[in-house]
Amino acid sequence: MDGFVKALQMSEIIQGRGKIVILNGHEIAVLKSGEKVYALDNSCPHKGGPLGEGVVMGNMVICPWHGWPFDVNNGHCSINPRASVSCYEVKIEGDDIFIKL
């Protein structure tokens, strides 16, 4: 899989929560909502809060520090249109989660 890096396993992620991984020097929040897994930059642009420690509600991850919500599909903040985080493509093979950097 060109450009994909193994990040972790599905069994390591709890529904509605995230996990922080470091891949090639990038800190990434890996989040599970329903049957889907998403990957975003871990740092909230507001104050640097760890999005991987936030709660996932539907298609939003809520920053645990100040409550800023980010869409897991595109990284946009719903309360501040100038704020966003990068999103990464995710592939799942069996129990393994791969992220394209």
pLDDT recorded at residue 8: 96
Digit-coded pLDDT (tens) for 30-40: 999 988 999 99
pLDDT recorded at residue 56: 95
Confidence of residue 27 (pLDDT cuts 50, 70, 90): very high
Look at the domain 4-100 and name its fold: Rieske Iron-sulfur Protein (2.102.10)
- Domain residue ranges in the chain: 4-100
pLDDT at 1 over 60: no
The values of phi and psi at residue 54, to 5°, are: -80, 175
Q: What is the overall mean pLDDT for the chain?
A: 94
Query: In angstroms, how far is CA 45 from the centroid of its own chain?
Result: 14
pLDDT recorded at residue 16: 87
